[in-house]
Amino acid sequence: MTNFAAQYSPDQFGHDTWWLVVAKAILIFAFLMLTPMVAVVAERKIMARMQMRVGPNRVGFHGSLQSIADGVKMALKEDIIPSGVDKPIYILAPIIAASAAIMAFAVIPFGPEVSVFGHRTMLQLTDLPVGVLYVLAITSIGVYGIVLAGWSSGSTYPLLGGLRSTAQVISYEIAMGLSFAAVFLDAGTMSTSAIVGAQEGRWYLFMLLPSFLIYITSMVGETNRAPFDLPEAEGELVGGFHTEYSSLKFAMFMLAEYMNMVTVSALATTLFLGGWHAPFPFNFWSGANSGWWPVLWFTLKVWVFLFVFIWLRGTLPRLRYDQFMNLGWKVLIPISLLWVMIVAIVRGLGAAQAGTWSIPLVVIGAVIGFAMLAGGWVALHRKPPRPEVEPTVPPTFDPMAGGFPVPPLPGQTPPRRSRDLVTQEAGDG
């Protein structure tokens, strides 16, 4: 175990008094409820600005209370349950989707050790030796809510949306797990607090650039957000897996989507952006990483990723299903396997001389990362080849087909014999 892993060991958790545990759980739940409320308004305002529209501006100051109005509107709508549904699973599906998003935040570190009414405690509910794998497992359970919603609705379009969600989980969680493997190899631990500690002074965004690019692509696919929102493609599946849902059940699916966005953004912050460590230039201040300041740095980093989610939705069109599968199986997974092998080889060769492996790893990672960015740029701006169309010969025009001469339409030329016949008949007349 590295020094960082020993300093930020999961063994230091589990010693808080009961009221501290309850208080931290309530604060995490409040954070997960308030952030989606702000994100809904922010998304509508940012996308409106990108699309040269006004956006919500009626409810509250400049539309700041729009998400509350939306919640009240959905709560007051009639809750319709179709007659052909599997009712217990139909009701349980949105609960599974929302509960899993909340549970995943239990191992996310918000900050270092602080003092609360004389009690020293970590700004994290708990931690596990396999904390990252816990988050991956819980987010996988959350997808069952989408799958069961599509299956229990007893309708064709929700069923297709649930099947698409299953395919996304199989395709993109493999690449996501492989992107985690490189972080585990470098940090020497799977504990979230220890991984944050290992990034003190060197973020894995720069150390493991290919893993970061693969993860942010996979996290968009995992959350069913544009351009990967195929399970709810309204142009193809009406509304996808939640077509038959209304009122609060639909609201729970919407809440689960935004909570999952916050969860994967917090995990990206923890694994690649140094967690609660202060960004440049605030890291030169000696007190930036102590006290309650790290909570601010952590929240700002999470909102950077939330802005990227909104930016992608307002910029990119939805991928075709074959493009989506090709990206997951033929691009992300092979690059992930190659990158994990490179990290393992470089770490193995540099194990005898501690620290010497960092420079070649950064260089190789930068080359692969920029190659991935260049390939994505070319793919987005490449014009599809025009299909070769064989020249068609216009059909022969016969002016006497109906028994009497007819003048040709534009682009039609009568054959020479027909022209002479028409001319002769015109002369006889």
pLDDT digits (tens, 9 = 90+) for 289-314: 888 999 999 999 999 999 999 999 88
What is the pLDDT averaged over residues 244-251?
A: 88
Distance CA 103, CA 98 (A): 9
Cα–Cα separations (whole angstroms), residue 241 to 95, 156, 236, 238, 316: 14, 10, 12, 9, 22
The phi-psi region of residue 224 (left if phi > 0; otherwise alpha if psi is between -120 and 50; otherwise beta) is left
Neighbours of 232 (CB within 10 A): 25
What is the pLDDT averaged over residues 252-269?
A: 91
For residue range 145-157, list pLDDT tens digits in order.
888 888 888 888 8
**Binning pLDDT at 50, 70 and 90, where does residue 394 land?**
low
Percentage of residues in the chain having pLDDT higher than 70: 84
What is the pLDDT averaged over residues 137-145?
A: 84
Given a cut of 60, is residue 354 above it in pLDDT?
Answer: no
Distance CA 67, CA 27 (A): 20
Domain tally for the chain? Answer: 1
Cis peptide before 82 (omega within 30 of 0): no
For residue range 220-239, list pLDDT tens digits in order.
888 888 788 888 777 787 77
Say what the pLDDT of residue 416 is. 62
What is the pLDDT averaged over residues 99-124?
A: 88
Instruction: Spell 90-127 as b/e; 16+ CB within 10 A means b.
Output: bebbbebbbbbbbbbbbbbbbbbebeeeeeebbbbbbb
Strands 111-116, 119-123: pairing is antiparallel
Given a cut of 50, is residue 123 above it in pLDDT?
Answer: yes
Given a cut of 60, is residue 67 above it in pLDDT?
Answer: yes
What is the pLDDT averaged over residues 378-404?
A: 66
Say what the pLDDT of residue 2 is. 47
Given a cut of 70, is residue 129 above it in pLDDT?
Answer: yes
Say what the pLDDT of residue 34 is. 92
Is there a domain that residue 217 lies in? yes
Is there a domain that residue 183 lies in? yes
pTM greater than 0.85:
no
Is there a domain that residue 405 lies in? no
Is there a domain that residue 329 lies in? yes
Is there a domain that residue 395 lies in? no
For residue range 367-382, list pLDDT tens digits in order.
888 888 888 777 666 7
The segment with the largest mean pLDDT, out of 133-147, 254-268, 337-351, is 254-268
Lowest mean pLDDT among 101-115, 135-149, 259-273, 399-413: 399-413
Question: What is the average pLDDT score of the chain?
Answer: 83
Given a cut of 60, is residue 202 above it in pLDDT?
Answer: yes
**Binning pLDDT at 50, 70 and 90, where does residue 216 land?**
very high
**Binning pLDDT at 50, 70 and 90, where does residue 392 land?**
low
Is there a domain that residue 399 lies in? no
Given a cut of 70, is residue 8 above it in pLDDT?
Answer: no
Say what the pLDDT of residue 31 is. 93
Say what the pLDDT of residue 272 is. 94
For residue range 21-54, list pLDDT tens digits in order.
899 999 999 999 999 999 999 999 999 999 889 8
**Domain housing 264:** 3-279+290-381
The encoded tokens of residue 360 equal 């070649």
Is the model more confident about 155 or about 418?
A: 155
Is there a domain that residue 47 lies in? yes
Neighbours of 409 (CB within 10 A): 7
Say what the pLDDT of residue 1 is. 41
Distance CA 288, CA 292 (A): 9
Q: Distance from first CA to last CA of the chain, Å, rounded?
A: 108
Say what the pLDDT of residue 393 is. 62
What is the pLDDT averaged over residues 4-28?
A: 78
Given a cut of 50, is residue 183 above it in pLDDT?
Answer: yes
Given a cut of 80, is residue 318 above it in pLDDT?
Answer: yes
Is there a domain that residue 341 lies in? yes
Lowest mean pLDDT among 85-99, 133-147, 342-356, 393-407: 393-407
The encoded tokens of residue 377 equal 């740029």
